[in-house]
Amino acid sequence: MITWLRQRSILPICESVLAPANDQSSMNPLFRTKPLPPIFTDIRILALFGSVAATILVLSTFVLFRRVSQQSGLPHGPQVHVSGESVDTATRKLAVPEDDRAVEKLTVNDIKIVEPGEASMSVRPDPVRIKQPCEALLVLDVEATCVQGSDFHWPNEIIEWPVCLMRWKDKDADGIANRLEVAAEFRTFVKPTWRPTLTQFCTNLTGITQKQVDHAPTFPEVIDQFTKFLSDNGLIHPETGQRLIRFFWCTDGPFDIRDFVIKQCFISKIHLPPWIRGDVMDVRKVVSRIAYHEGRKGSGKKAFAFQKRLSLNLTSQLRFLNLSPFIGRQHSGIDDTRNIARIVSELARRGVRLEPNTYIQADRRWQWMGKPGEILEEYLS
């Protein structure tokens, strides 16, 4: 090996790199030693080339494994836990790139069909009973003030607070269940205080009129009313407010609590209620991941053209799960909430483990926030 390197003028280059180790002029006089024998230089050169070869081998093995996994369809992304096993479930090729700000506007016509003509919805499987960790779920889809052209950084105020309380109908002593139904509903409009006049764009989008919000309670009053609703339904203690059973929130995307509720509490100068703190289940994320995995399974290698982060809007989720089309008026808070509840019920029927999957930062802040309740309008664009 050394002779081969010396014949190709590689050895002198390596010796020049390692030369400072034998250069006595660069060493402290107190530690001067005799020059190292040539055999030690040869060993160091072999070690150098050995480490480079090992690195190349590791990288080559990784690339080879990736190619094999793509050709064989081995899963390498997130999976859904069903019936105690980690399996790929879901539909074919309904895929939309996720964008927190723009995805809400996507419609069924915006969905990219990878291979036109093939099935674009999931075949409804037989019911599957698994152990579910919660006793109840609260489905929420608020509506908020908006200005045409604004995004989620705008100081929106909540103008509709609709909630569907869902409970298990067949949960046994071991927590095994698959029938989840709406047990109660809560709905009220909310009066905005920072900009109490709705824009025409907001009314056209949500269907909420100025008269409806003018006669509605303010957000702190709504919180008091909803706290009583939770108490009456046995979710929290009527005096201490402590949770009596395990429940969590479900939303279509992270926007409702991550953005709207956090901002509204700041504007109303109140703390985030304890019964809404904690992580939430982003239903859109659950369904979109199922769609991604079944899309990969259904179209083989071509499915790798999908982006890992996918997002299906509400109408697309219904279509994907082979449920009947959207019932009611889109962007009506109560109608959106009821349709999300339909999706959650179908996920439970299919044996999908329902649990929180999205972290909510309770102390999140935006640039326009001044003191509690103060909106710095100079930071609004």
Using a pLDDT cut of 90, give the percent of the chain over it.
Answer: 59
pTM above 0.85, yes or no: no
Judge whether residue 107 has pLDDT over 90.
Answer: no
More confident residue, 56 or 7: 56
CA dist 95 → 221, 305, 331 (Å): 41, 10, 22
Give residue 54's pLDDT.
82
- Residue 12 to residue 246: CA distance in whole angstroms: 72
Question: Are the CB atoms for 339 and 330 separated by under 8 Å?
Answer: no
Sequence spans of domains, the chain: 2-72, 80-379
We find that the CATH architecture of domain 80-379 is: 2-Layer Sandwich (3.30)
- pLDDT at residue 203 above 70? yes
* Mean of pLDDT over the chain: 79
Structure tokens at 309: 């982060």
Helix, strand and coil content of the chain, in percent to the nearest 5, comes to 40, 15, 45
Span 172-188, average pLDDT = 96
Q: How far apart are CA 64 and CA 284, in angstroms?
A: 34
119, 295 Cβ separation under 8 angstroms? no
pLDDT digits (tens, 9 = 90+) for 124-139: 788 999 999 999 999 9
Residue 82 has pLDDT above 70, yes or no: no
Residue 56's pLDDT band, with cuts at 50, 70 and 90, is confident
